[in-house]
Structure 1
Amino acid sequence: MSPEDYNFITSFLLDTTGLSLGENKEYLLEARLVPLAQSHGMNGIEDLVLALQSSIDPSLKKDVMEAMTTNESSFFRDRRPFDELKNNILPSLIAERQTTQRLRIWCSACSHGQEPYSIVMLIREHFPELANWNIQIVATDLCTKALDRAQGGIYSQFEVQRGLPVQLLMKHFDQCEQGWQIKSELGSGIQWKHLNLLEDFQHLGMFDIVFCRNVLIYFKPDTKKHILDRISRQMSSSGVLLLGAAETVLGISDNYSKMSECQSAIYQLAKTSPLSAGVN
């Protein structure tokens, strides 16, 4: 791969997805994009770059973006955030929302669906009092192929063994030819939507809980700030943001403060922020 082709693709990915590869990632681009180029009848990266530059195939741009998306996930990934959700976040919100009996949750990079399904299972198992509440879960991702898989709810034996307790597997899944399929009633309350976090997402509405885990680590600081600030404008006044274990808002956005009861990377709107005076 020539330096010119490398620079073009990394700039293309930065502009379209926010993904910042930096230097010396030629091996990664070749591993993911050479098979893609061949599937489009091209010889390799050079042909792919020429096609992107000419915009002859409108689907190619989307295919390149999706090929470079990391769709790594597992059920109850990094267990602690789900413990915090069960022990602190949901009990606090439930006490506050007894009148409206409504909660909205956003999984902003849902990948193959393990995260939103884990949330539904946690609510079903530990909060039976929410059975008659209006619980809305919006699951979004940049990759349409990942969304299709998520909505289908079929997982291999290996995937269900990663973080999913066997009792929940037997209760909420049916065995199928490809492995295990989540029961339809578990996914009925999830709205699956294609979304690029670089683009406007005001149409999604307001949320009480936002999962944005292991996404921002791939972005440059100014892009992280832009996304975090826009998310804060769509959180209710007592809303909660959950980031990945290695992520933080410190030094990036002043719109949040650490949720004192929680040990993980969990934040609320800062009390000094004008956003914290918003309506629920």
Structure 2
Amino acid sequence: MTELDFEFLRAFLKARSGLSLQPEKRYLVESRLSPVCRRFKMDSLSTLVTGLKGGRDCVLESAVIEAMTTNETFFFRDKAPFDLFRDVLLPRYLAARATTRRLRIWCAAASTGQEPYSLAMLLDEASSRLSGWRIEIVATDISIEVLNKARMGIYNQFEVQRGLSIQLLLKYFSQVGDQWQIAPRIRDMVDFRPLNLIKDFGHLGSFDIVYCRNVLIYFDSSMKSEVLNRLAGALTPDGSIVLGAAETVIGLTDALVPDPANRGLYGKCSQTAVGARRPPLLAASR
């Protein structure tokens, strides 16, 4: 792969997916796109680049984007964001939405489904408090391939061992050969949809809770700011957004403010004015 080929791929990936590749990541491009070359019977990455430059092969373009997208995930990943949902966010919105009994949740980088299914299991565990509620979990990802896997809800032994207790595994999964399939009632709680975060997502409507974890780290600062501002616009006035442990809004947007009591949790900036008159909505209620 020539330097010009690499620079083209960097620009292509940033424009199509927001992925910002540093020059030292050339090895990553070569290792991940070599299988794509073999799949499309191309003799080199330069031939692949030529195919992309033609701009007429959508299948090739999608294959390149999917190959370069990181889809690392597992059930209840990092634990703290799910404790936050169970102990802080769910009680908060059960009280705040007691009249409408409606709650909308968005997992904005769902990958193969472990994050939204983890939230769905927590909701099922709290089902005694949710009678008569309409709760929607929308889960999106740029990759059609991982969404197809997520919709099936079938995972191998390694995948279910990552983050799942034996109690939850036996309660919510059934064994199919050497794999495990999540219970239909949990699968039916999640609406999986393809979505590219760097493009408009206004058609999704507004959400009370947004989980957008471990995806902004792959964007440059300007793209992070743009996405964060649009995520803020997708929140209800008292909505909350959960970011990954290595992610922040500081220096990137004024539309979101950190929750001082809960790391990784953010609310709309307008909530600070409310907090001046009464206890802030973003205060933890433990």
Q: Distance in 1 between matches of 2:38 and 2:272?
A: 51
What is the CA-CA distance between 1:56 and the residue it aligns to? 4.1
Q: Which residue does 2:71 correspond to in 1?
A: 71
Q: How does 1:174-185 map to 2 (within 5 A)?
A: 174-185=174-185
Report the counterpart of residue 123 of structure 1 in structure 2: 123
Amino acid at match of 2:153: G
Q: In 2 relative to 1, CA 261–128 (structure 1 residues): closer, same or farther, beyond 3 Å?
A: farther
CA displacement at 1:195 relative to structure 2: 0.3
What is the distance in 1 between the residues matched to 2:48 and 2:164? 40
Deviation at 1:191, TM superposition (A): 0.9
For 1:62-101, what aligned pairs fall within 5 Å after superposition?
62-101=62-101
Q: Residue 25 of structure 1: CA displacement?
A: 1.4
**Which residue identity is paired with 1:266?**
L
**Whole-angstrom CA distance in 2 between matches of 1:80 and 1:235:** 22
Q: Residue 173 of structure 1 aligns with which residue? A: 173
**Which ranges in structure 1 are unaligned for 5 or more consecutive residues?**
none
Per the alignment, residue 32 of structure 1 pairs with 32
Could you say which residue in structure 2 is the equivalent of 1:268?
267
- Tell me how far apart the structure 1 counterparts of residues 127 and 257 of structure 2 sit (CA, whole Å): 27
Q: Following TM superposition, by how much is the alpha carbon of 1:57 offset from its aligned partner in structure 2, in angstroms?
A: 2.2
**Does the CA contact (< 8 Å) of 2:238 and 2:271 recur in 1?**
no
CA distance, structure 2, for counterparts of residue 211 and residue 271 of structure 1: 20
Q: Secondary structure at the match of 1:24?
A: helix
Residue pairs, 1:103-252, within 5 angstroms: 103-252=103-252
1:179-214: CA deviations, max 9, x gaps?
A: 100011111121110000011100100000000000
Q: Secondary structure at the match of 2:208?
A: strand
Letter in 2 for 1:271: S
TM-score where L is the length of structure 1: 0.95
**What secondary structure is seen at the aligned counterpart in 1 of 2:23?**
coil
Unaligned segments of structure 2, at least 5 residues: 276-286
- Whole-angstrom CA distance in 1 between matches of 2:202 and 2:55: 29
Task: State the match for 1:22 in structure 2.
Answer: 22
Describe the SS at the equivalent of 1:181: strand
Structure-1 separation of matches of 2:124 and 2:56: 49
Residue of structure 2 in register with 1:259 after alignment: 259
Identity of aligned residues (%): 45
| Conserved? CA contact 1:155–1:178, under 8 Å | no
| Segments of 4+ moved more than 3 angstroms | none
1:21-79 deviation line (CA, Å, top 9, x unaligned): 11121211111111101110101201000111112422111111111010100000010
Contact 1:88/1:261 (<8 A) preserved? no
* TM-score when normalising by structure 2: 0.93
Q: For the Cα contact (< 8 Å) 1:20–1:219, is it kept in 2?
A: yes
Which has the higher mean CA deviation after the structures are superposed, 89-98 or 54-63? 54-63
Q: Is the 8 A contact 1:154 1:178 kept in 2?
A: no
